[in-house]
Structure 1
């Protein structure tokens, strides 16, 4: 079973997807992969990365998005660290964001 990864960013203040937000995925080996959320706030384009078991970091660059849509950004970025396991299947890491708060969980 292969390992795959997706993400989804939702703006809880506006009740809409957070489009065009920059993301940086850092692999267990330290490789940095840049991506951007689409018009629906989703991202699953990781430059043909072959995911292996290990601890990853996903950085959501929230500042520009929050300033553009809310005029305030307490969080310039949000880092989420998570572990992918061998034969883990699909992983989904959503982020709920507002100018003064955020939340994440393992989605499906």
Structure 2
């Protein structure tokens, strides 16, 4: 059975990003994104449960990471907050695979990849 997971690592501290709000959106037949789930990262920077799992996973999704709130809450940048929300859009084509979408953040940028 397939699943979708994520984690967030703060490169500026070298530690997992705790308590980052995450929303999962799916593109519908009208080509609009609709929110279908939400979560927060735990002490290890991971979501405790998969964002999505089971049958009918095929589709186009967007994960929105609320990193601006994370930086303000943790006072990790003093003068300004460049990033507010990091949206990552991707497609799931094989519903029996594990899709892992990690986010590596820093105050001025981010990176992602398809993990395992």
TM above 0.5, yes or no, is yes
Uncovered stretches (5+) of structure 1, i.e. residues with no partner: none
Aligned residues: CA RMSD: 1.9
Residue equivalent to 2:4: 5
Which structure has the larger Rg?
A: 2
Moved over 3 A (4+): 46-51
Distance 1:74 1:25 in 2: 22
**Deviation digits for residues 5-43 of structure 1, max 9, x if unmatched?**
110100001000001000000123324211000100001
Q: Does 1:77 align with 2:77?
A: no
Distance 2:51 2:90 in 1: 19
Q: 1:44 to 1:92 in 2, by over 3 A?
A: farther
Q: How many residues matched?
A: 107
Uncovered stretches (5+) of structure 2, i.e. residues with no partner: 29-33
